[in-house]
A and B are shown apart, each in its own frame.
Chain A
Amino acid sequence: MEEAELPLAAPLPLDGQPLQQDDVRRAGLCECDGSSRSVLRGLVLGAAFASLVGASFIVNVLVVMLRSRHPQHGSTPHDFQVDRSPTQRGANSLLREMHRSSDADIRAWGASTAVDSDEEDERQERFGAEVSEQRRLLSSGSTSHEHHSVGSAAWANALYQRRAARKGARDRRALLVVCCVLLGVGLGYGLARRRPAAASNPSPPAPQWRRVGSGPGAAARAEAQLQPEAAARSAASTQPALAPRLGPPPTIDPARWKHVLNESLPWAQTNVPAFECSDDDVTLTYWYRWRLFHLHMRRGDKLSACSSPRLGCWVRTLTLTLTLTLTLTLTLTLTLTLTR
C-alpha cells in the first residue's frame, strides 16, 4: 500500500512544471487585472449616481407628502355639509340638506378634497356610518333621497375611487423611483466605461503568469524539483529531459480488501476497474459493492426458440396444428358415420 501512496503524495503540477505568479497585487476584493478593475470602478460610480438620483427623488416625494399633510383650507365632511346649509341647524335639517347633495356633488367633493389619505378616508367612513345610524334611528321616511346621501352607495363609491386613485399614484411613484435608479446605474456605468481613469491612476502592469525559470535548462531544473534521481540520471547523460514525466501510475491491488471480497477476489482482479481514494471507507464500500454484484450474478437459461416471441416457436405451432386437424377429422368421420 505504501508504494501505491507514494507517487500520489508527490505534487502533480500542470505540465510537470510548477507555475508561479509574480507581482500579485491584492486590491480590495480580489487580485484583479486592469480590465476587471475598470469594471469595478464603473459599478461603484454607477451605484453612487443612482443613489444620488434616488435620494433627490425621495426628497421631492417627501416634500410633496408634507405639503399634502398640511392643507391650506380644511374641507372636512362637516364643512361640506355645513356650507350647504349654514343657516339651518338641527339633525333633521342637516339630514335633509345632506339628502339634497347629488352624486356628482359627492364626486366633485371627493376629487377636490385636499386631504387625501387613508386616515381621512377612515374618518369619513366612520362619519358616514354615524350618519346612517342616525338616519336609521330617526327613521325619516325620505327613502327616495337615500341614493345620494353621505352613507349611500355613491358616497362609498367615491371613497373607493379616491382610495384606488391614491394606490395607483403610489404604485406609479414606486415604479418611477425604480426606473430612475436603474437609469442612473446604467448612465453612471456607461460614463465610467467611456472614460477610463488610466491617466489619473496609472495601474501597475498586469501580473504575468510565468514559468519558473526560463532558458535552456529550465525544463531540467523543473524536473529536478520533481524527481531528483531521474534528473540526476538525465544530467549525467548530459541530455535535457524533453518531456516531463510523472512517474509510474499507482498500482492498486484489490487484495488489500480481501476481507470483503472473499471468494470474489480473483474475479474482481480480472474484471473490475481498480479504484482507490484517500477515504478508506469509500474504497471499502466500492469493493464490497463489487463483491455483492458478483454474488448476485447467476447463470440463466440458454436461449431457445420458444423463449422469445420474436424468434418464434415452430414446435409448439406444429403440435397445435396437428392436434387441431386430428380432432377435426375425427369429429367429421364420426358425424358422417353416425348420420349414415
Chain B
Amino acid sequence: MITEFLRKVFWSGPHNTIVAPAGHHIMEGRWLRDDAIIDDYARFWFLGSGWRKQHPQAG
C-alpha cells in the first residue's frame, strides 16, 4: 500500500493510509512495471482493512 505521510499521523487509517489521495497514488502507480503494487493497494481499500475508512466524503 502507499501512504500519504511518512510519519504516523493521528487522522490516518490503518497502516497510516488516507483514502483521499488514493486516487492520485493509483494514477501514479499505474506507470510502474510491477502491477502487483497497485493491485495490492486496491485490494487493501476494497477487501482489506481499509474498507472501514472509505468515507463517502473523502476524509
Query: Could you list which residues of chain A lie within 8 angstroms of chain B, going by C-beta atoms?
Result: 270-273, 289, 293, 295-301, 303, 307-311
Instruction: Provide 5 A-B residue pairs closer than 8 Å at the C-beta atoms, listed in order of the A residue.
Output: A272-B31, A293-B29, A297-B3, A309-B51, A310-B47
Centre residue among B16, B29, B47 by max chain A CB count within 10 A: B47
Distance of A270 from chain B, by nearest CB (Å): 7
Q: List B10-55 residues whose CB lies under 8 Å from chain A.
A: 14-16, 25, 28-29, 31-34, 37, 40, 43-44, 47-49, 51
How many A-B pairs have beta carbons closer than 8 Å: the answer is 55
CB-defined contacts of B37 to chain A, threshold 8 Å: 297
Complex Cα gap A299–B48 (Å):
12
B2 adjacent to A293 (CB under 8 Å): yes
Query: Contacts A295-B6, A297-B2 given: A270-B33 contact, CB under 8 Å?
Result: yes
CB-defined contacts of A273 to chain B, threshold 8 Å: 31-33
Q: How many residues of chain B get a CB closer than 8 Å to chain A's CBs?
A: 23
Complex Cα gap A196–B13 (Å):
74
Sorted nearest first, the 8 A-B pairs with minimum C-beta distance are A300-B1, A308-B47, A296-B3, A300-B44, A271-B32, A271-B34, A271-B33, A296-B2
Distance of A7 from chain B, by nearest CB (Å): 23
Query: Contacts A296-B2, A296-B4, A298-B1 given: A311-B47 contact, CB under 8 Å?
Result: yes
Complex Cα gap A303–B3 (Å):
18
Complex Cα gap A311–B43 (Å):
13
Distance of A292 from chain B, by nearest CB (Å): 9
CB-defined contacts of B33 to chain A, threshold 8 Å: 270-273
A301 adjacent to B49 (CB under 8 Å): yes
Complex Cα gap A273–B28 (Å):
11
CB-defined contacts of A295 to chain B, threshold 8 Å: 6
B29 adjacent to A307 (CB under 8 Å): no
CB-defined contacts of B2 to chain A, threshold 8 Å: 293, 296-298
Complex Cα gap A295–B37 (Å):
13
Complex Cα gap A198–B51 (Å):
74
A307 adjacent to B49 (CB under 8 Å): yes
A300 adjacent to B15 (CB under 8 Å): yes
A298 adjacent to B51 (CB under 8 Å): no
CB-defined contacts of A298 to chain B, threshold 8 Å: 1-3, 15-16
CB-defined contacts of B29 to chain A, threshold 8 Å: 293
Distance of A295 from chain B, by nearest CB (Å): 6
Complex Cα gap A35–B29 (Å):
51
Complex Cα gap A185–B33 (Å):
60
Complex Cα gap A335–B3 (Å):
56
Known: A296-B2, A300-B14, A303-B48. 17 other contacts (CB 8 A): A271-B33, A272-B31, A272-B33, A273-B31, A273-B33, A296-B6, A296-B25, A297-B1, A297-B3, A298-B2, A298-B3, A300-B40, A300-B48, A301-B49, A303-B47, A309-B51, A310-B47
- Closest residue of A by beta carbon distance from B34: A271
Complex Cα gap A289–B49 (Å):
27
A307 adjacent to B47 (CB under 8 Å): yes
Complex Cα gap A272–B1 (Å):
17
Distance of A273 from chain B, by nearest CB (Å): 5
The 8 Å CB contact of B15, one of A301, A307, A309, is A301
Complex Cα gap A272–B44 (Å):
22
- Closest residue of A by beta carbon distance from B37: A297
- Closest residue of B by beta carbon distance from A289: B28
